[in-house]
Amino acid sequence: MTLTDYRLLQKQLQELIDEEPRYVPLLSNTSALLFMTMDRLNWAGFYLLQDDGTLVLGPFQGKTACIHIPVGRGVCGTAVQENRTILVKNVHDFPGHIACDSASLSEIVVPIRDAEGRILGVLDIDSPIEARFSEEDREGLETLVRILEKGIVF
């Protein structure tokens, strides 16, 4: 298994923020960076929270995806509802999992918050490998999201 170099990713993400902090180009490049850098992924991207309580598909890399996810449904909606990162070793064991891509077996979702702690959206990463994501991945991705939160302009 190839380990992800999260320190290098932190530096690369900060360079992307320094170049362009507006959310569309920044989230687009961040999803590309994660998809190309992390091994054994089949989807990396963002869902953005709307005023009506629905997550809407944002910039991503991978196959076409679900466009709308209600808060409280699936891994993404549950991460928003519970305001926490969720790491799922086998998505088929997760109650209410939404199968946007039937090849996905494991998933990690990290909420993105504004300065007041309100959730703006989530980083969602899927893998066709069961138990692909570790606690090291959780910590590394949470750190990357904290960097995004400080630098992104919505």
Q: Are 74 and 91 in contact (CB under 8 A)?
A: no
Contacts of 16 (CB under 8 A, 6+ apart): 26, 29, 30, 33
What's the pLDDT at 1?
53
What's the pLDDT at 2?
61
What's the pLDDT at 15?
98
What's the pLDDT at 99?
77
What's the pLDDT at 95?
85
What's the pLDDT at 56?
98
Q: Which two tokens stand for residue 75?
A: 């891994």
Residue ranges, the chain, pLDDT below 50: none
What's the pLDDT at 24?
97
> Which CATH code of 3.40.50.300, 3.30.450.40, 3.30.930.10, 3.40.50.720 fits the domain covering 20-151?
3.30.450.40
What's the pLDDT at 65?
94
Reported pTM: 0.96
| Beta carbons within 10 angstroms of residue 42's beta carbon | 18
